[in-house]
Every structure is written in structure tokens, then in C-alpha cells.
Amino acid sequence: MKKVTKLVAGVVLAASVAATAGALTGCGPATETYTGSEVTNYRGTNISIGVDVTVTDGAITAITIADSSVVATGDKWATSFNDGKEALVNSLIGKTVDEVKALTTTYTASENKLETIVSGATVSSNVFVKAVQNALNNTQVVTGEYSYENAWKPGNYYGIKVMVEVKDGKIVEVSTMEIPENWTNVTASWDTDGSKAAGVAEYLKKYEGKTVDEVMAIKVSKDEAGQPNTDEAGQASQGDFIYSGATQTSGRIILAVQDALADIK
């Protein structure tokens, strides 16, 4: 249920170092490919980049931007990034894994520490480098969402957006993201003291340490409109991931997290 424009999909930017010596004899250099991704929200806009990084004998030999959704008003950041990304990729080719891991990234443009960036796309450049670092650390950061129309207020929705960090197949962290003005996660008139809304951050810790497969196996019971059911069977369907007293909220979060995890490679 993602609504993020895909600007680059399957576009290969591979500046590779030839390593054919010994390949014909089966004694070539050790080569591995790692997948990583990173997401940040900059001025209300999600910037996400996924990469495949090839490492040969401890040095980066190729980088593929496998998935990118760099979106901004007028797509100016996307245009700048796409125009200059090849030089950014090439700036990392030949560096050792340790050298790339040691680079400092920031999502505050004025504090940029990278020597090579794409002019006009400083934050996107840092997201790209962080995605490469995540690949080398076997980490992926993905986003997901879940929503359905509010039956009492047409044109309004109940929904949630989340960011999920996964390392070595296990969830490191789940956090909520900004939602549109016509979306509601926890209804204020129901949550009169604000305790349920305030408790979401603590609830999200339930996911930490869980495997991707464990979370994807949850079958949230919901009605035809997509609203999580709150009856006994509905509560049971959420298992250990239920948010006591806020079954619909936890149902939406589970489904949003699953939406994010569907992008894990």
C-alpha cells in the first residue's frame, strides 16, 4: 500500500574493477554482493534508496542502485540526484569496506561531511552513502503503511506509516512516520487522556529482535473495509503484538510493518 513514486527501478550504475586474473582457473578473488537500504524524511518528504554492493577482496567493485524513491516538490532533488549519481557511485568504487563504513553521513545539508556529493541533492547523497554502509552491515531500512477510509467521515482515513530497520533478518527498530492531515491513527475523542497515543512508542518495542518471518506470519483479522476486527477472534489474530485496549491501532501497525517488510530482500 505504499504511495511513494518510484523514480529509479533496476537502473544499474556499476563502475566495476575488473578482476579476471585467475578466474578461468577457479582461483579468482573472493566476491560477495550485499543488499542495503536507507530512508529519511526531509522537510516532509521521504527520501529512500536501495543498493546492491559488490565487494571483492575487501574493496567495493560495483554498486547498483536497485531502488530509489527520491521525491520532492517539482522533483528537483530527484532530477539533481539522477543527473549526478554516476559520479557519486564512482567516488566509492575502489574504496575498502572499512573506508566506506568510516564515512560520516548527516541529513542536515549544512553539516555535510562527504567529499563527493551531488550538487542540489546533498541529503539524497548522504542517504545513498548510508544505504551503502547499511548494505555492508547487512542492514535494510524500509517504509510501509496501512490505511482504510473512515466510514463516519468520507474522505478521511484511519492509517499509519512506519519505518522499519532490519539487520541480519531481525527487526532492530520500528518507528512511526508523519501521516497526512486526513489520516488518524489514535482517535483523540476516544483516547481522552492521550495515554494510548503516548504509549505507541513503547508498544513498538514489541517488534525489536523479532525475525521478519515471525512478523510476516501474523494474520490480522479484518472486515471487508480493511478495519481490524476487535472481537475475540480479532484480538487473538494479533497474538503477542496486540496493543491492549487499542486493537485497531495495533492491527494497523502490524499491517503497516508487514507492508514495509515485503520490501526486504
CATH number at residue 197: 3.90.1010
Give the gyration radius of the chain's Cα atoms.
Answer: 21
- Buried b vs exposed e over 139-148: b needs ≥16 C-beta within 10 Å? bbbbbbbbbb
Q: Which of 137, 162, 184 is the last residue of a domain?
A: 137
Query: Is 54 a domain residue?
Result: yes
Query: Is 3 a domain residue?
Result: no
| pLDDT for 265 | 80
| pLDDT for 19 | 39
Which has the closest alpha carbon to 137: 51, 232, 223? Answer: 51
Q: Does 132 share its domain with 158?
A: no
Q: Does 170 share its domain with 51?
A: no
Per the structure, the complete domain to which residue 102 belongs is given by: 8-137
Q: Does 86 share its domain with 198?
A: no
Q: Which of 92, 121, 137 is the last residue of a domain?
A: 137
Q: Does 120 share its domain with 210?
A: no
Query: Is 64 a domain residue?
Result: yes
Q: Does 165 share its domain with 237?
A: yes
Query: Is 154 a domain residue?
Result: yes
Phi, psi of 38, deg, nearest 5: -150, 145
pTM of this prediction? Answer: 0.80
Query: Is 2 a domain residue?
Result: no
Beta bridge partners of 175: 163
Q: Does 72 share its domain with 91?
A: yes
Query: Is 1 a domain residue?
Result: no
| pLDDT for 45 | 79
Q: Does 148 share its domain with 106?
A: no
Q: Does 84 share its domain with 17?
A: yes
| pLDDT for 8 | 34
Query: Is 16 a domain residue?
Result: yes
Phi, psi of 70, deg, nearest 5: -100, 105
Q: Does 147 share its domain with 99?
A: no
Query: Is 119 a domain residue?
Result: yes
Q: Does 105 share its domain with 29?
A: yes
Question: Which grid cell sits at 254?
Answer: 502490524
Q: What is the pLDDT along the chain (265 residues), one digit of tens a residue?
A: 333 322 333 334 444 433 333 333 445 678 999 999 999 888 877 888 999 999 999 999 999 997 666 544 345 667 788 888 999 999 999 999 999 999 999 999 899 999 999 988 899 999 999 999 999 999 999 999 999 999 999 999 999 999 999 999 999 999 999 999 999 999 888 888 999 999 999 999 999 999 999 999 999 999 999 999 999 999 999 999 999 999 999 999 999 999 999 988 8
Domain count, the chain: 2
- Cβ contacts of 94 within 8 Å, gap of 6 or more: 17, 59, 60, 61
Cα(253)–Cα(158) distance, rounded to whole angstroms? 11
| pLDDT for 188 | 86
- Contacts of 179-183 with CB under 8 Å at 24 or more apart are 182/155, 182/156, 182/157, 183/147, 183/156, 183/157, 183/158, 183/159
Residue 142 and residue 260 in contact, taking contact as beta carbons nearer than 8 Å: yes
The CATH number given to whatever domain includes residue 68 is 3.30.390
Q: Which of 113, 137, 161 is the last residue of a domain?
A: 137
Which has the closest alpha carbon to 247: 156, 145, 158? Answer: 158
Q: Does 175 share its domain with 126?
A: no
Q: Does 149 share its domain with 126?
A: no
